[in-house]
Structure 1
Amino acid sequence: MGKHNLLIYTTIALVLLFLVSRSPNKSQPQETHHRRRLKIRSHFPFSPPSDPHHHHDPPPAFDPLVADIELAREDRQWEHLYYQTHHDSDSDSASESPDSSPEPDHESRPEWEDFADAEDFLNDSERFNVTNRLMLLFPRIDVDPTDGLASKSELTQWSLQQSRREAMHRSQREMKTHDKDGDGFVTFAEYEAPSWVRSADNTSFGYDFGWWKEDHFNASDADGDGRLNITEFNDFLHPADTSNPKLILWLCKEEIRERDRDKDGKVNFEEFFHGIYDLIRNYVEPHDTDEHESDDSNEASAKMLFVLLDKDGDGYLSDVELLPVIEKLHPPEHYYAIQQTNHILHQIHTNADAFEADITSPDGSADGDKDGRLSLAEMIESPYVFYTGVFSEDEDSGDYVVHDEFR
């Protein structure tokens, strides 16, 4: 198997060398590539989401190295905010005391100095070259099977891995603040609800959402030992991605509680139609949804689905009856990974058409053949597609356009 893989990538390398030597007219894309300045994104929301039930973290960077740099910046921002939030009283008293010490590293290191250095690193072609990065990443993506092509499934799995990696990083960061005794577990007594919850009253928006309450905590406790390890705590913060049956059922209960306007503990058709059904339709791929569907037809479709879900035929939906559609109401990371992959493939094909590219991939298919698979040559031809949201379009003076709708 190892010899087979070596042969594939040796062949790809030879093809690329041949293409470079025979394609002097390809200098335009290369020149345009150099005119893009990469910038470190700062897009993680530190304020409470407007809808905690359907909040989703921003998509990760395609390149794990860029993701590490962004997470380092995010960690510093988070630490700064955490220090301000939890040490205001200490800061006030310290400012009144002539013997008070400055905030750690305040004098020794200017704020965000590391981030400026990291951005310089990203824009030093000798230290960070997007083409070289893609050549290094390609063998890590092309794994199932290793055939010299990155399939849609492989690209989706890659994006999913990056998303889960970032989610776990944030969970580990959060856990450190709640694990008061440092034993590697969080009990409900140790867990501290978000500050916006602590300062809210019973009438505040979001106060009745159960994401920070004890029943959510207990549902996340898969082994029932009264405390959460890092895996359980990660599920606690990202319940849409859990495989824990208790937590999945808790999601259904929360959906019922949010949609149940008459507070009878169940969802009738009107409550289903004017809330849950819209979310289910939005989950469906656009080409499967008829935008011109009439109100009557839309309601008829909703009634058909309602009847299918209403297993006991009592005219109401219970939490258990919502289980078949809970993934559509709370999409997991896999759903967003598919979206990101579709976005990448669309941009690759768009750029291929714009450049009228004629590169031939190792399997003999034409570049931009829209077969849902990418050769290394195709990826290198449009490298900045994989760094969308990182480079600055303001500094781009060429015709190479990369849209940023997904991010």
Structure 2
Amino acid sequence: MGKFSIIVYISIALLLLFFLSHSPKKTQNHRHRRLRLRSSYNFNPSRHESVAFDPLVADIERRREDRQWEKQYMENSHPELADHDAAPAHESQPEWEDFMNAEDYLNDEDKFNVTNRLVLLFPKIDVDPADGYINEHELTEWNMQQAEREVLHRSQREMETHDKNRDGFVSFAEYDPPSWVQNSDNNSFGYDMGWWKEEHFNASDADGNGLLNITEFNDFLHPADSKNPKLILWLCKEEVRERDSDKDGKVNFKEFFHGLFDLVRNYDDEVHNSSHLSDDSMDAPARQLFAQLDKDGDGYLSDVELLPIIGKLHPSERYYAKQQADYIISQADTDKDGRLTLTEMIENPYDMEIMSRIQILLLVRMNSLLKK
């Protein structure tokens, strides 16, 4: 293949990637605040983003993100060592050698062979039971595995930054809030609610030894996914602290209706695929739920009384994994039996987002050929 042909190929790939990245996508109502601590070097409170369905694509993205993270880390923590003369975005481009396994799934036309990947992945998903069909539970569990791997990887990477004495633990003295918090006016999102304070750290310290191991640190960064009762209660306290406009230490009905109930209603709407009603029509259901939560009947909600709905206020990764599974099935379930065959998945490849990710892979490959 001549250099001119390669340049043409790259131009076409770039054009296709542009159209894919700007094409309309099916929007999902992620109206919840996905409260998890962001990287020390990049705070972007955007909607929850799903992890790539294919572990191969996820690994490519993870390596690229690692390089971007390392560059930001050097620029912020060791500016004297940072390479300021490098070409823009050069460090964010992964080396092709990292992805030689991915080349095995490119066909003769340099297109990603989705069929081969699905044939390989299908039996890994179809396990409970292994009956030739993928149901919602199996797909949710698969998505959870990918999400947990991604979350833990990011937590391990973040822990390396804060574990200054390299003992495998993070103390409160070692943990530095992200730069966007350090440079804030103490009134920004997260800071005034205690996300960077010792109470949050201590709640994450399940064994109470004053140090966070990787499991505790992962919970610290992603409290909505934790099973630590101290951390879940802390999350409830933060809700009271945020919603308590009159600062009496509890949540009255007005504070509940115009804040917490909206989030509960959003969650239930998405789970049951229903639509919003007017505030007037929701007053009675809101009062009914408020009364159910108000166990002592004092007309206020305490942090403990918020425990039954905290999972709806802060949805976990499992919630999003199920959403993603439902969406995949809705797109590929041709015979509408609520499950997927291999044929259905091959004939209805999941989402254009995967294809845009694959085009990035192809572009990297073409760039590597051009350098030769």
Q: Same fold by TM (over 0.5)?
A: yes
What residue in structure 2 maps to residue 111 of structure 1? 91
Task: Quote how far apart the aligned CAs of 1:134 are.
Answer: 0.8
Contact kept? 1:156, 1:341, Cα under 8 Å: yes
Q: Is the partner of 1:279 in helix, strand or coil?
A: helix
Match in the other structure for 2:327? 343
- Equivalences for residues 187-266 of structure 1 within 5 A: 187-266=171-250
Letter aligned with residue 344 of structure 1? I
**Identical positions, percent:** 60
| Deviation (angstroms), 1:391 | 1.6
Deviations 1:189-214, CA, capped at 9 Å, x for gaps: 11111111111233445430211111
* Counterpart amino acid of residue 48 in structure 1: F
The aligned counterpart of 2:338 is 372
| 1:87 shift after superposition | 2.6
- Pair 213,49 (structure 1): closer, same or farther in 2 beyond 3 Å: farther
Pairwise CA distance, 1:49: 3.9
* SS class of match (2:191): coil
- Residue 7 of structure 2 corresponds to which residue in structure 1? none
Give unmatched runs, 5+ long, in structure 2.
Answer: 1-14, 22-37, 360-372
Residues 2-401 of structure 1: pairs in structure 2 closer than 5 A:
47-50=42-45, 57-88=48-79, 90=80, 103=83, 111-114=91-94, 118=99, 121=103, 124-125=106-107, 128-286=112-270, 288=272, 291=275, 293-349=277-333, 368-383=334-349, 385=350, 388-392=352-356
Count of matched residue pairs: 322
Q: Could you say what secondary structure the match of 2:134 adopts?
A: strand
Q: Distance in 2 between matches of 1:60 and 1:391?
A: 14
Q: Quick check: which has more Rg, 1 or 2?
A: 1
For residue 210 of structure 1, give the secondary structure of its aligned residue in structure 2: coil
Give the whole-Å Cα distance in 2 for the aligned partners of 1:279 and 1:328.
7
TM-score normalised by structure 1 residue count? 0.72
Q: 1-side partners of 2:188 and 2:56: how far apart?
A: 41
Give the distance between the partners of 1:140 and 1:334, measured in 2 at CA.
19
Distance 1:345 1:193 in 2: 40
Residue 171 of structure 1 contacts residue 237 of structure 1 at CA under 8 Å; is this kept in 2? yes
CA 1:249–1:176 in 2, change beyond 3 Å: closer, same or farther? same
Higher relative CO (Cα under 8 Å, sequence separation at least 6) belongs to 2
User: Aligned with 1:154: secondary structure?
Assistant: helix
Contact (CA 8 Å) 1:281, 1:289: kept in 2 or not?
no
Q: Give the conservation status (yes or no) of the 8 Å contact 1:279–1:328.
A: yes
- Structure 2 counterpart SS, 1:103: coil
Stretch deviating more after TM superposition (110-119 or 249-258): 110-119
Deviation at 1:375, TM superposition (A): 1.1
Structure 1 position 164, deviation (Å)? 0.8
Q: Distance in 2 between matches of 1:165 and 1:287?
A: 25
Q: Distance in 1 between matches of 2:276 and 2:122?
A: 42
Is contact 1:38–1:122 with CA below 8 Å preserved after alignment? no
Q: In the alignment, which residue of structure 2 is the partner of 1:94?
A: none
Q: CA RMSD in A?
A: 3.2
The residue aligned with 1:14 is none
Contact 2:294 2:301 in 1 (8 A): yes
Structure 1 unaligned segments of length 5 or more: list them.
1-35, 92-101, 350-367, 396-407
Mapped to 1, the partners of 2:220 and 2:200 lie a distance apart of 7
8 A Cα contact 1:60 1:67, kept in partner: yes
C-alpha contact (below 8 Å) 1:249/1:323 kept by paired residues: yes
Amino acid at match of 2:355: F
Q: Is the 8 A contact 2:269 2:275 kept in 1?
A: no
Aligned residue type for 2:68: Q
Distance 2:53 2:315 in 1: 20
